Structure 1
Amino acid sequence: MGALIEVVLPVFFVLGFGYLAAKRGWISSASVDGLMVFSQKFAIPCLLFLAISQLDLGQSFDLRLLASFYVGAISGFAAGILGARFLFGRPWEDCIAIGFCCLFSNSLLLGLPISERAYGEASLAANFTIISIHSPFCYLIGITAMEMVRNAGRTRAETARAVLKAMFSNALIIGIVLGLAFNLTGLAMPGVLEDALDLMRRAALPTALFGLGGVLVRYRPEGDLATAGFVVAVSLILHPAVTLGLGQVLGVPHDTLRNGVVTAAMAPGVNSYLFADMYGKARRVAATGLLLGTALCVVTAWIWLQLLG
């Protein structure tokens, strides 16, 4: 138990320090925004670029792992949409935004550091396999569904253009695509440039965790608590449970599967709120789900780590 606590708590302490600093006014709201811009648009794309450009695609891309994780994610998306519509009577556009909250787990800011502390840096190939298509996959599903609901009269070509424009304005996706391009073409990178990117990479996770804590100060659990609680339950229980069960059926090696389950078991990511905000739908549910899910993830992540061994 002590070892598990030592794995989970340091990650949430960094997040908590950011929350406390913003709450007490030791760091301004503008500074928090600056940290998040640096981490989300520069440092994390560098982290993804380097990791994916150096990934052994032949060994790391276990299709069984990807199927287990993403069937779980789609199950969460479907459960979120149907629950929002038939349990809570939300409009369809709200339902898509709520489903996206259940689809987009915090694979980077929480899943990566917790997996690293639990299973070591050498195990992270499984995480990067998932992360390499996480943003493109989730945004493709979410934006396509939302654009179809919002613009039923649009042609397929117009919908496709709207989807691609929204996806490729995302810095995380750009970092992933460039990393894959370097990996597949075998392009060599100058050592000096690689060292510079590595410096950025080292700052990515601590900066993002601290900044995320500062961002959470802005969100308060006010209203729509039942809907947000449903989102949290789907994110923290259904998604990892489907990933674990399907992974065992498909024969995913346990040392690989456990990283996938930990990634699936994370709270909704910041992108879930950004998606809701982008469309102006279900923002309060997304913000409350993000806050409650991140708080409860301290306990549920420990439980999942204990179950996984």
Structure 2
Amino acid sequence: MLEILSITAPIFILIAVGYVAVRVQFFPRAGLAALGAFVVRIALPVLVFKSISRRTFAEVMNFPYLGAYLFGSLVVLGIGLCWARLVRGKGMEQASLLGMGMCCANSAYVGYPVAAQVIGPTASMALALSMIVENMLILPICLALAESGGARHEPFLRVFGRAVFGLRKNALVIAIFAAFVFSLFSIGLPAPVDRVVDLLAGASAPVALIFIGGTLVGLPLRNALVDMGAVSFGKLVLHPLAVLGGLWLFGPVDPVLAAGAVLLASAPMLSIYPIFGQKHGEEGFCAATLMVATLSSFVTVAGVIWLLHSGGLIAAVP
């Protein structure tokens, strides 16, 4: 257990540093936007580019991994939609947001730092593969479902196509496609540029964790505890279990890489969850759910790591 705490403690200490720094106004809350932009638009795309471009194209096109992660995410999205619609009586708009909270992981800000501590350099490859699924399929599907159930009731395929087309300006997507080209043609970077890539990629995890901590300051805890608890449970417990099931169905996948998939799926929902909720008048619920899930993940992530280390799930984790 002490070994697990030695892995998770630095992660949540950095989150606490971000929270305290903003809470006591040592770091201005307004500056969080700049930190987040740095991670999402610079450090994280560079990290993804580094992870993909330095591997062979055959390694990048890991269809068992991609299929397993897609399967697990879609299963949990379906569970979330059914639970919200049939049990809670929500409309499609609200149900889609609940489903999004269950299946869209905070891979960059929480999942990757945790996975890097547990499985080392392989975590960056797991992150790159997972983000291909999340950014190009899962997130557009969730957004299209929410829009199709909104006031305008637009056709699902039209909204989905618009969401996918909008990805052409996304820095992460650009980095993924550029990395594919470098990987396919075995293109290397000059040594000075390669060093810059390493420096920027290394900045992603610590800055992301401080950003997460700062965003937790002042988040509202309102009613709807049943829904918040259900979404948090779906994200922290059901999502990693579903991805694990996908790995069993679509395997074989390298055991360490498979462990990375489970760890990434065990992260709380994406940090911009409240932003998506704002468009549909659910920003308060989404923000409160994000806080509950992030705080709860201290326990659940430690549990996942314990299972991995004990050999109960994937025994090959170092």
Match of 1:263 in 2: 264
Q: Whole-Å Cα distance in 2 between the matches of residues 287 and 85 of structure 1?
A: 21
- Provide, for residues 8-42 of structure 1, a one-character-per-residue CA deviation record: whole Å limited to 9, x for no partner: 11111101100111111111111122211211222
Contact 1:48 1:132 in 2 (8 A): no
Partners of 1:140 and 1:147 in 2: CA distance: 10
Q: Which moved more, 1:94-103 or 1:132-141?
A: 132-141
Distance (Å, rounded) in 2 between the aligned partners of 1:255 and 1:188: 26
In structure 2, what is the equivalent of residue 297 of structure 1?
297
Partner of 1:112: 112
The corresponding residue for 1:209 is 209
The separation in 2 between residues aligned to 1:48 and 1:123, in whole angstroms, is: 11
Distance 2:156 2:102 in 1: 28
Map 1:30-179 → 2, pairs under 5 A: 30-122=30-122, 124-150=124-150, 151-152=152-153, 158-159=158-159, 161-179=161-179
Mean Cα deviation higher: 147-156 or 92-101: 147-156
Which residue type is aligned with residue 280 of structure 1?
A: H
Cα separation, partners in 2 of 1:300 and 1:227, compared to 1, 3 Å: same
Q: Secondary structure at the match of 1:270?
A: coil
Q: Is the 8 A contact 1:45 1:172 kept in 2?
A: yes
* Structure 1 length-normalised TM: 0.90
> Which sits farther off after the overlay, 289-298 or 219-228?
219-228
Question: Aligned partner of 1:89: which letter?
Answer: G
% identity of equivalent residues: 22
Residues 225 and 55 (structure 1), Cα distance of their counterparts in 2 relative to 1, 3 Å cut: farther
8 Å CA contact 1:4–1:305 kept in 2: the answer is yes
SS in 1 for 2:272: helix
- For structure 2, the residue ranges without an aligned partner over 5 or more in a row are 310-318
Q: Which deviates further from its counterpart, 223-232 or 279-288?
A: 279-288
Asked whether the equivalents of residues 126 and 256 of structure 1 are also in contact (C-alpha less than 8 Å), the reply is: yes
SS in 1 for 2:268: coil
Give, as a single letter, the amino acid of the residue that structure 2 aligns with 1:71: F
TM-score, L = length of structure 2: 0.87
Paired position in structure 2 for 1:25: 25
Taking the aligned partners of 1:134 and 1:119, their CA distance within structure 2 comes to 21
Asked if the contact 2:130/2:261 (under 8 Å) is kept, the reply is: yes
Q: Any stretches of 5+ residues in structure 1 without a counterpart?
A: none
| Contact 1:105–1:267 (Cα < 8 Å) also in 2 | yes
C-alpha displacement at 1:152, in angstroms?
Answer: 4.0
Residue pair 2:54, 2:183 contacting (<8 A) in 1 also: yes
Q: CA deviation at 1:58?
A: 1.2
The 3-state SS of whatever aligns with 2:149 is: helix
Q: Is the 8 A contact 2:91 2:149 kept in 1?
A: no
Is the 8 Å Cα contact of residues 52 and 128 (structure 1) preserved in structure 2? yes
Aligned residues: 307
**1:155 shift after superposition:** 9.2
| 1:14 counterpart residue number | 14
Over 3 Å counting, the alpha-carbon distance change for 1:108 and 1:123 in structure 2 is closer
Aligned-pair distance for 1:60? 4.8
Write the deviation string for residues 257-294 of structure 1: whole angstroms up to 9, x where unpaired: 221111111111113233223x3343222212211111
Match of 2:297, SS?
A: helix
**What is the alpha-carbon root mean square deviation over aligned residues?**
2.3
Q: CA 1:161–1:258 in structure 2 vs 1: closer, same or farther (change >3 Å)? A: closer
Bigger shift: residues 235-244 or 128-137:
128-137
Matches within 5 A, 1:180-219: 180-219=180-219
1:200-227 CA deviation, whole Å, 9 max, x = no partner? 2221111111011101113122222211
Q: Aligned with 1:217: secondary structure?
A: coil
Change (3 A) 1:126 1:44: closer
Contact 1:112 1:124 in 2 (8 A): yes
